[in-house]
Amino acid sequence: MHVFSDLAELERGRPTILTIGAFDGVHRGHQYLIRQVIDRARRLDYDSLVITFDPRPQVVLRPGSTQLSDAAEKARIIAALAPDRLVILPFTSSTAEISAGNFLVSILERVNLNEVWVGADFAFGHRREGDIAFLIRSGQKSGFGVHVVARQRLASSEISSTAVRELVAAGDVAGASILLGHYPRLRGVVVRGAGRGVDLGFPTANIRPAATQVLPGIGIYAGRLFVDGKTYAAAISVGYNVQFDGRQVSLEAYALDFEGDLRDREVGLDFVQRIRDEARFESVEALVDQMHRDVDEVRVILSRADEPGELILPA
């Protein structure tokens, strides 16, 4: 898969099957759509192309909005699906002003477009003027087909990025993983903390995620920490450090069986399962006892945890 950050980097070549969208979280519905594009392109011996944005448009259009996945995370998941090309366009206030017609022209100039596949609620361009009807009319004029894929369902639940963000924010990371088809992951840089973890026997990495990142709800989680191509089981805390009268939410991870210093390094965190609420204990010793139990529970949970399956039920 070749990754680009500008349509101008593309070279017009073989006929291409395209899908375009925000793809926040790259959940199972997104995966289903992207697979349709890839399979269709392979059957016809065409190229497959995915175009997405970073950040998702709502983060720019509605300040305070958050997202599940940044450019690196989208690229990681989409790469596993193996389209021929992926374009991740920076989304800015200027991007939001581009008309649907002009944006489509910029694609047609660089892409030998044969078909566009989109979700049923897809729209693009200034004020979302480029809806499905616009695409169909444009396709009739410019010679490309339009395929609309209905929103996918899993059992009785519709799969949507909004639903996943709500589940993650509520702390239901296990429920979110079912809709995602993978565990919720965030990235961040390890920064200097108060240093209490070392004194307690649990040296934690204090992680600073992007301000636009959806954080799981307050609580203690079983998860995994990724750094330098290696994976470590982790007990993760999202909370206020109420034992020590903290006033700001912090994100800390204790990487089991890790030795070394993670400061100033970027790490990834997968959230597998919520273990318990954050709580104030009667003593620091009682807190340490609970942390030992948390670590034991993390080991048990992760020993049984597999990647969420990829079953998609038709809408």
Residue 50 CB neighbour total at 10 angstroms: 28
Q: pTM, whole model, 2 decimals?
A: 0.92
CA-wise closest residue to 65 among 94, 91, 28, 88: 91
Tell me what pLDDT residue 155 has. Answer: 80
> Where in the chain is CATH 3.40.50.620?
15-158
d(CA 77, CA 68): 12
For the stretch 249-293, pLDDT in tens is 999 999 999 988 899 999 999 999 999 999 888 888 999 999 999
Q: How far is CA 136 from the centre of its chain?
A: 30
> Where in the chain is CATH 2.40.30.30?
175-304
Tell me what pLDDT residue 26 has. Answer: 97
What superfamily does domain 15-158 belong to in CATH?
HUPs (3.40.50.620)
What superfamily does domain 175-304 belong to in CATH?
Riboflavin kinase-like (2.40.30.30)
Using CB atoms within 10 Å of the CB of residue 141, give its burial: 0 to 12 exposed, 13 to 18 middle, 19+ buried: exposed
Tell me what pLDDT residue 198 has. Answer: 63
In order along its 315 residues, the chain shows pLDDT tens digits of 999 999 999 999 899 999 999 999 999 999 999 999 999 999 999 999 999 999 999 999 999 999 999 999 999 999 999 999 999 999 999 999 999 999 999 999 999 999 999 999 999 999 999 999 999 999 999 999 999 999 888 887 889 999 999 999 999 999 999 999 999 999 999 998 766 666 577 888 999 999 999 999 999 999 999 999 999 999 999 998 766 667 789 999 999 999 888 999 999 999 999 999 998 888 889 999 999 999 999 999 999 887 665 533 332
